[in-house]
Amino acid sequence: MTKPQIAPYGSWKSPITSDLVASGAVRLEQVILDGENIYWIEMRPAEGGRCVVVRRSPQGQAADITPPPFNARTRVHEYGGGAFTVHNGTIYFSNFTDGRLYCQAPEFMPRPITPEGKLRYADLVVDRHRDRLICVCEDHIATGQEPVNTLISIDLHGSKRSRVLVSGNDFYSSPHLSPDGTRLAWLTWNHPDMPWDGTELWVGELGVDGSLRKVERVAGGPDESIFQPEWSPDGILYFVSDRTGWWNLYRRHKGHIKPIIGMETEFGAPQWFFGMFTYAFVSAGNIICTYNDKGTWHLASLDIETQKLQRIEISYTDISYLRAGSGQVVFIAGSPAEPASIVRLDLSSERLEVLRRSTDVVIDAGYLSIPRHIEFPTEHGLTAHAFFYPQQNGDYQAPPGELPLLLVISHGGPTSVASSKLDLMIQYWTSRGIAVLSVNYGGSTGYGRAYRQRLNGQWGIVDVNDCVNGAIYMVKLGEVDGDRLIIRGSSAGGYTTLCALTFRNVFRAGADYYGVSDLESMRKETHKFESRYLDRLIGPYPERQDLYRERSPLNFVDRLSCPVIFFQGLEDKIVPPEQTEKMFGALLHRGLPVSYLPFEGEQHGFRRSRNIKSALDAELYFYSKIFSFRLADPVEPVQIQNISKKG
């Protein structure tokens, strides 16, 4: 064996390069089964972030279906999801460039079935009994007003005008048809609720002409979040509800709602995107499902009659987009050692098969950091959660007595969750000798409704406390250097990052990716889906304007005393560039070491490989200058203002 080289943390040479992180992986989304064919979406950074529908035949051949320049993506709620569906080999998808719906029959080019305009579509369902699509429509035609969301029907051939089926509420999602096509179920909610706060499940009968009648609310309300309504093969309505404090499975039969399973685990997830599925019917009496237990997802089989849940032992710890049919279950899964992949489970042989990996790159185990789940004490005698990734590179060890830098990651949402699946971005840091703590602060999902609600009225406080306390906990364990603590985050995680840097004095540097710095501006300028989100996270506006100002880092730049690097997409509609530019300007004026990298053509989240690479290299370069460690490989320098004034 080659003796490890001695080199300071941060300066280790790694085969996990920024090129590998940026171009080596696609993002896999939305699985659909059509007969024995399997479809999914691949978001490809190497193609400028284009989303491509891919089909895998029963013979095992995978092929792109949507040709360039078509981009199967929707901007409903800005975050999208549920951008396509398939019926008998014909694909229906939303095209990102013009927002129109297209129909693509086998061996033909896509053709539009909706008119030009400012309409957006998502959550597509084929109503085969009436030759139409049912979907969510978001109308942006009225200028100066909030977009209007409805459930509509669209003729499959585009020869008839669309028809509004349900309207009047602020949001709709998850339309699902009963197997005989006579009933439609859907979810709806209104401001200021988000779908993980309170939703309603409605059901209506469909007439011969396709209209809805005998419409009734069957579950849900302001204090109950419903997820994934689904009809069983024998026409019974199932859904996930958190009415007990945990997202568990229920069914409605003969007017009565009964629990199917009751566990202190989560069978649902926050609906940031359309088209999310955590369970599927194998038969009228059997469900294959996935559930989240303290940040780790498990696969299981559920016998409905006996209510017995049988764990299916697999190595994956992150599972999503689960679908079933034709004797198989297909889902997207990953683990600490395996990247996100399309995985197929053959129900007859119980054999698992990987159909598509998000990356074909194989990383030697000597460079992979395997996370461990940690629980640590936080404010008010409570416990918070995180995944800790120790530095790992078999080619190096640090000089005696040196402790590694710690990079704390604050996830977005903030109602989201840090996953333990293989993330090359995290491995980029750990393989260079920088430890990572990915925090599931109070407000994260996977730990029950009460944990999620810790953030209500406390955004900028609970999340910051948990990130700070997580870092301090790792220092007390003696695993990291308390003088070299860094925090980074994107979107809502960027807000947590800026609050931690502004209102606390624990971290010595930070990286903000399109984060919120001015809560009042966000409240006034952000898109419809999140326009009232802050009512719960902060307080009603303008009644609690004082809280919005007290928790906006931009108003207290004089308290921020450490270097920061900012990254921003110039077409971001969720966190407009003006917020980042004001924050950068204020720090520049104060004389702090600061950098700002704006990216043309990027929105809320970077999709282009060259920009992902540039951002990652710039962040590493920034830390190397702030903490005075040499880089093993040259990277393109980034301009750091006021660097001579550091310290």
Q: Tokens 């001695």 correspond to what residue?
A: 6
Query: What is the mean pLDDT for each group of 10 consecutive residues in the chain (647 residues)?
Result: 88 94 85 96 90 96 96 95 97 97 95 95 97 97 87 92 96 98 98 96 95 96 97 97 97 93 94 96 96 94 95 95 94 94 93 93 92 96 97 96 97 90 94 98 95 97 98 98 97 95 97 93 88 95 96 93 93 85 92 94 83 94 96 93 70
The C-alpha atoms of residue 371 and residue 642 are separated, in whole angstroms, by: 36
Q: Pseudo-torsion of CA 412, 417, 422, 428, nearest 10°?
A: 30
- Give Rg (Cα) of the chain: 24
Q: Tokens 């011969």 correspond to what residue?
A: 208
* CA distances from residue 275 to 139, 326, 454, 497 in whole angstroms, order as listed: 20, 20, 27, 30
Q: Using alpha carbons, select from 154, 163, 216, 209 the residue that is nearest to residue 185.
A: 216
The C-alpha atoms of residue 428 and residue 620 are separated, in whole angstroms, by: 10
- β partners of residue 230: 238
Which helix (H) or strand (E) element contains residue 494?
A: helix 492-503
Contact 82, 74 (CB under 8 A): yes
Question: For position 361, what pLDDT does the model report?
Answer: 84
Q: Using alpha carbons, select from 338, 370, 365 the residue that is nearest to residue 352.
A: 338
Contact 459, 519 (CB under 8 A): no
Q: Would you put residue 642 in left (φ > 0), alpha (ψ -120 to 50) or beta?
A: left
* CA distances from residue 444 to 76, 321, 434, 593, 613 in whole angstroms, order as listed: 23, 20, 24, 32, 28
Sheet (strand 279-283) strand order = 279-283, 286-293, 296-303, 308-312
* CA distances from residue 310 to 233, 250, 302, 306, 348 in whole angstroms, order as listed: 21, 17, 6, 11, 16
Question: For position 24, what pLDDT does the model report?
Answer: 63
Residue range 363-645 in CATH 3.40.50.1820: yes
Sheet (strand 50-56) strand order = 27-34, 37-44, 50-56, 62-64
Q: Pseudo-torsion of CA 429, 432, 433, 435, nearest 10°?
A: 10
Question: For position 647, what pLDDT does the model report?
Answer: 41
Instruction: Work out the number of other CB atoms within 10 angstroms of the CB of residue 63.
Output: 8
Q: Are strands 132-139 and 119-127 parallel, antiparallel or unpaired?
A: antiparallel
Listing DSSP states for 78-132 in one string gives TT-B--EEEETTEEEEEBTTT--EEEE-TTS--EE-S-SSSEEEEEEEEETTTTE
* CA distances from residue 276 to 80, 83, 538 in whole angstroms, order as listed: 11, 11, 28
Burial class (CB in 10 A: 0-12, 13-18, 19+), 476: exposed
Listing DSSP states for 346-376 in one string gives ETTTTEEEEEEES------GGGPPPPEEEEE
Helix, strand, coil shares of the chain, percent, nearest 5, are 20, 35, 45
Contact 73, 46 (CB under 8 A): no
The C-alpha atoms of residue 533 and residue 537 are separated, in whole angstroms, by: 7
Task: Please report the sign of the dihedral spanned by the C-alpha atoms of residue 213, residue 216, residue 221, residue 227.
Answer: negative
Residues 6+ apart with CB under 8 A from 595: 564, 565, 566, 618, 622, 638, 639, 640, 641
Question: For position 603, what pLDDT does the model report?
Answer: 83
The C-alpha atoms of residue 72 and residue 82 are separated, in whole angstroms, by: 10
* CA distances from residue 162 to 123, 203, 209, 335 in whole angstroms, order as listed: 15, 21, 13, 43
* CA distances from residue 455 to 195, 459, 460 in whole angstroms, order as listed: 15, 5, 9
Question: For position 245, what pLDDT does the model report?
Answer: 97
Kindly provide the residue ranges of all beta strands, DSSP E only, lying in 105-247, ordered along the sequence: 111-112, 119-127, 132-139, 148-155, 163-166, 171-177, 183-189, 200-206, 212-220, 226-231, 237-241
Q: Tokens 């979406």 correspond to what residue?
A: 41
Buried b / exposed e along 120-135 (16+ C-beta atoms within 10 A)? bbbbbbbbeebebbbb
- β partners of residue 352: 345
Question: For position 563, what pLDDT does the model report?
Answer: 97
Contact 37, 323 (CB under 8 A): no
Instruction: Work out the number of other CB atoms within 10 angstroms of the CB of residue 237.
Output: 21
493 φ, ψ to 5°?
A: -65, -30
The C-alpha atoms of residue 194 and residue 454 are separated, in whole angstroms, by: 15
Q: Encoding tokens for residue 439?
A: 């925090």
Residues in the chain: 647
Question: For position 370, what pLDDT does the model report?
Answer: 96
The C-alpha atoms of residue 236 and residue 249 are separated, in whole angstroms, by: 13
Q: Is the pTM of this model over 0.85?
A: yes
